[in-house]
Structure 1
Amino acid sequence: MIKQLAVVSVNKEKYSETFIHDQIRLLPTSVHLFYGGYLPLFYGNRQSFLPFPASDFGPGVFYAQLFAALAPRFHKKHIAHYCRKQGIEAILAHYGPTGVQMMEISVETGIPLYVYFHGYDAYRAAELAKYGSHYKRLFDVASGIFSVSHEMTERLIGLGAPVHKVIYNPCGADTALFTNHDAGKNPPVILSVGRFDDTKDHLTLITAFQKVQKAHPQALLKIFGTGKNFNACRRLTERLGLTTNVLLPGVATHTEIASEMAQARVFVLHSVTTADGDREGAPVSIMEAGASGLPVVATRHAGINDIVVHGETGFLTEEKDVNALALHLNLLLENPLVASRMGEKAHARINTYFSLKRNVELIWKKINK
């Protein structure tokens, strides 16, 4: 049994990566968290791999990044030394570029490396231009490659990953926190959760909601999150006269999101493929919504096709189809019994196939083989 596992994440506490924190919490072993970039700068509680004092905030980050950029081989030697000293027996790297940075450390130390691909790392043109040429070496070195969707599995194989190394294992919902509720009994609240970036096209969602609001003046659209497109969305709600009906509360805790889902009628996520090829993986927010008993309206996009069964646990539309998006949202607001029935089926599906418990058990099974 593996007693010491290194988990490598770009960020330590990013609000949109709760799935990584949940995995760390539930893995039945001692976990050493490495973080601070694709090539990690820190471990544990703000302790640095560098040969001089550094911090994970303010100027300390700048000097740490500068050193790692100027002397990456020397920096990797320090990480390898830590791994040997602490008796690390396996490395789990989140995101492909992180795996690229950790692969030579794996080779030098003989510690098995597992890599988790999540979305942009397999699709975005800029990311592939920078790291794609290194993926073949990564696929050779890695003992296992986790994929969060069936589409991504095919994508990784197309990029050169050996079929026998790719493990389909979507991240899951914490079903102890996100519990079943009767969506049909809730008020006409449409909920969405996600970063305000280009893959989550909130502008189209707000445009579609304008049609919904005309048919249901009391309906509310709540979109939680933040990001580069937040202000553009706020300006659009003002221009469309929807400031009373579209609420943009910003970032919320996991517990607060669970409470919001317990009080909503439907969950919506309008994911799209961006101009540079970026795509989602398998959005955990959709799994959390289903676990909460919410029907989901989303796009036929990437791993969403694995999670949502059209006409049973929710509805799927084509990307950018404003009319279809509004049509399905209206249907669920007008038919609470349909919302209840779909929500119940969504809850059962998530608990069976997309729970956090199932996700962590498969990670552990593969790493601890």
Structure 2
Amino acid sequence: MGLQKNKIAIVSPGQNIYSETFIQEQKKGLKGEIFYYFNGTVPTFLENKGKLFSKFDLIIFKIKQKIAFTKFSATEQAFIRSLKKNKIDVVLAQYGPTADKIVSVCEKLNLPLITHFHGYDASEYSIITQCNNYKEVFLYSKYVIAVSLSMRQRLIELGCPNEKIVYNVYGPNSVFLDVKPSFKSSTFIAVGRFVNKKAPYYTILAFNKVLNKFPDAKLVIGGNGVLYETCVNLIRYLKIDNNVSLPGIIGREDFLGYLEDSLAFVQHSITAISGDQEGTPVAILEASAAGLPVISTQHAGIPDVIIDGKTGFLVEEHDVEMMAEKMIFFLENRSLAMQFGEKGKELVKSNFTLKKHLDVIDDLIEKALIER
């Protein structure tokens, strides 16, 4: 079977979430005909087609369930009907909870399932418990994708067979490799959701210490989330409004511009109290591909892609003092910042390209279909 003929269902809880650039790249870059299902762990929409069921369909589905004609819910029945109608060959589930909710559907239709874990789904305690430690997912999935080495180990500890796990880091879009930072400014750039595991307040607190020595330095943190207002208030309290900018969600073109005009990328990721962790942050890969050094933490998949002391600096989680020191170091040593950035770009080009990431998934899809 040629790859170009495969009909691939990509299933994701949301659609076009700004932080999920990796899913958008998979939709555009995987070989085969893509059917993108979304909206809920059991999807209710198919991209470019609309809702999977009408009000009349819903009534019929509920009647079937009520008279014990089927064990599947109305939403599941609609999803099953759509998969059959579109003659789907293989299902790629984005996030563990998605796979947990649709594994019985795939099993009914004898469809190969590839489960792609991304971060919280392999680390947040309550999510893992709700999904029964992914026992059914691990049993049925042909392959399970882990985006970091620490995630790979975590999935093994949860019971996933080692032979099913494939370590496959994301790859940044090639446009980031074309960026050439000037290293003339004193600006630090960060991009990501304002959530507990990204701890943007720690980045702000570290930068505040930098201002004691470099009062003209700037920090830009792009993104939005539940901690956004907290960070706005912290900036006001510290009276550093003129130095710190929170522009909200920024698009790719704007991000490319910030990368070109910045000295380093910064992100103080931590393990949240809930257990939530990063996978491997795409923005860090994008910044490194652009040729900026990265200052971050020894957290999740970050040490897989940033070499401490060569392509950036990695500090311990919660170590605000050390993060500030590393930011000051690059302000005082711009030529080294450039050298670190160049080494980071070469590392990405050699090991973490988008093509490599997509090729691995294409290969898994082909193998899953052969083993069907």
For the aligned pair, the TM-score class normalised by the smaller chain equals over 0.9
Q: Which moved more, 1:344-353 or 1:38-47?
A: 38-47
CA RMSD of aligned residues (A): 2.0
- AA paired with 2:229? N
How far apart are the structure 1 equivalents of 2:86 and 2:11? 15
Q: What is residue 331 of structure 1 aligned with on the other side?
A: 329
How far apart are the structure 2 equivalents of 1:178 and 1:232? 34
Q: CA, structure 1 residues 257+72, in 2 after alignment: closer, same or farther (shift >3 Å)?
A: farther
Q: What is residue 13 of structure 2 aligned with on the other side?
A: 10
The 3-state SS of whatever aligns with 2:122 is helix
How far apart are the structure 2 equivalents of 1:328 and 1:98? 39
Q: CA, structure 1 residues 53+264, in 2 after alignment: closer, same or farther (shift >3 Å)?
A: farther
- AA paired with 1:78? A
What is the CA distance between 1:46 and its match in structure 2? 5.6
Q: Which moved more, 1:313-322 or 1:74-83?
A: 74-83
What is the CA distance between 1:75 and its match in structure 2? 2.2
What is the CA distance between 1:129 and its match in structure 2? 2.1
- AA paired with 2:214? H
Q: What is residue 57 of structure 1 aligned with on the other side?
A: none
What is the CA distance between 1:178 and its match in structure 2? 4.5
Q: 1:322 aligned to 317, 320, 323, which one?
A: 320
- AA paired with 1:154? Q
Q: Deviations over 1:227-260 (max 9, x none)?
A: 0000000000011011000000000112221221
Query: Is 1:103 the counterpart of 2:108 in the alignment?
Result: no
- AA paired with 1:160? G
Query: Is 1:30 the counterpart of 2:29 in the alignment?
Result: no
Q: CA, structure 1 residues 188+72, in 2 after alignment: closer, same or farther (shift >3 Å)?
A: farther
Q: 1:252 aligned to 250, 253, 261, which one?
A: 250
Contact 2:216 2:243 in 1 (8 A): yes
How far apart are the structure 2 equivalents of 1:6 and 1:197? 30
Identical positions, percent: 34
The 3-state SS of whatever aligns with 2:198 is coil
What is the CA distance between 1:105 and its match in structure 2? 1.2
Q: What is residue 188 of structure 2 aligned with on the other side?
A: 190
Query: Is 1:169 the counterpart of 2:172 in the alignment?
Result: no
Q: What is residue 360 of structure 2 aligned with on the other side?
A: 362
How far apart are the structure 2 equivalents of 1:328 and 1:53? 61
- AA paired with 2:140? V
The 3-state SS of whatever aligns with 2:175 is coil
Q: CA, structure 1 residues 241+72, in 2 after alignment: closer, same or farther (shift >3 Å)?
A: farther
Q: What is residue 142 of structure 1 aligned with on the other side?
A: 141
- AA paired with 1:198? N
Q: What is residue 370 of structure 2 aligned with on the other side?
A: none
How far apart are the structure 1 equivalents of 2:336 and 2:225? 33
What is the CA distance between 1:350 and its match in structure 2? 1.0
How far apart are the structure 1 equivalents of 2:56 and 2:243? 50
TM normalised by structure 2 equals: 0.92
Q: What is residue 85 of structure 1 aligned with on the other side?
A: 85
The 3-state SS of whatever aligns with 2:8 is strand
How far apart are the structure 1 equivalents of 2:87 and 2:49? 20
How far apart are the structure 1 equivalents of 2:93 and 2:124? 19
Q: CA, structure 1 residues 319+48, in 2 after alignment: closer, same or farther (shift >3 Å)?
A: same
What is the CA distance between 1:53 and its match in structure 2? 7.8
Contact 1:312 1:345 in 2 (8 A): yes
Contact 1:41 1:48 in 2 (8 A): yes
Greater than 3 Å deviation, 4+ residue runs: none
Q: What is residue 220 of structure 1 aligned with on the other side?
A: 218
How far apart are the structure 1 equivalents of 2:56 and 2:288? 45
Q: Deviations over 1:27-48 (max 9, x none)?
A: 1211000000111111022611
Q: 1:294 aligned to 292, 304, 308, which one?
A: 292
The 3-state SS of whatever aligns with 1:214 is coil
TM normalised by structure 1 equals: 0.93
How far apart are the structure 1 equivalents of 2:171 and 2:356? 7
Q: Counterparts of 1:110-121 in structure 2 under 5 Å?
A: 110-121=110-121
Contact 1:182 1:344 in 2 (8 A): no
How far apart are the structure 1 equivalents of 2:86 and 2:318? 50
How far apart are the structure 2 equivalents of 1:53 and 1:164? 45
How far apart are the structure 1 equivalents of 2:275 and 2:284? 22
Contact 1:179 1:293 in 2 (8 A): no
How far apart are the structure 2 equivalents of 1:249 and 1:310? 29
- AA paired with 1:350? V
How far apart are the structure 2 equivalents of 1:186 and 1:126? 46
Q: Deviations over 1:67-102 (max 9, x none)?
A: 9xx995332122122112211111000000000111
**Alignment coverage as a number of residue pairs:** 356
Q: What is residue 129 of structure 2 aligned with on the other side?
A: 129
How far apart are the structure 1 equivalents of 2:318 and 2:355? 34
Q: What is residue 59 of structure 1 aligned with on the other side?
A: none
- AA paired with 1:22? E
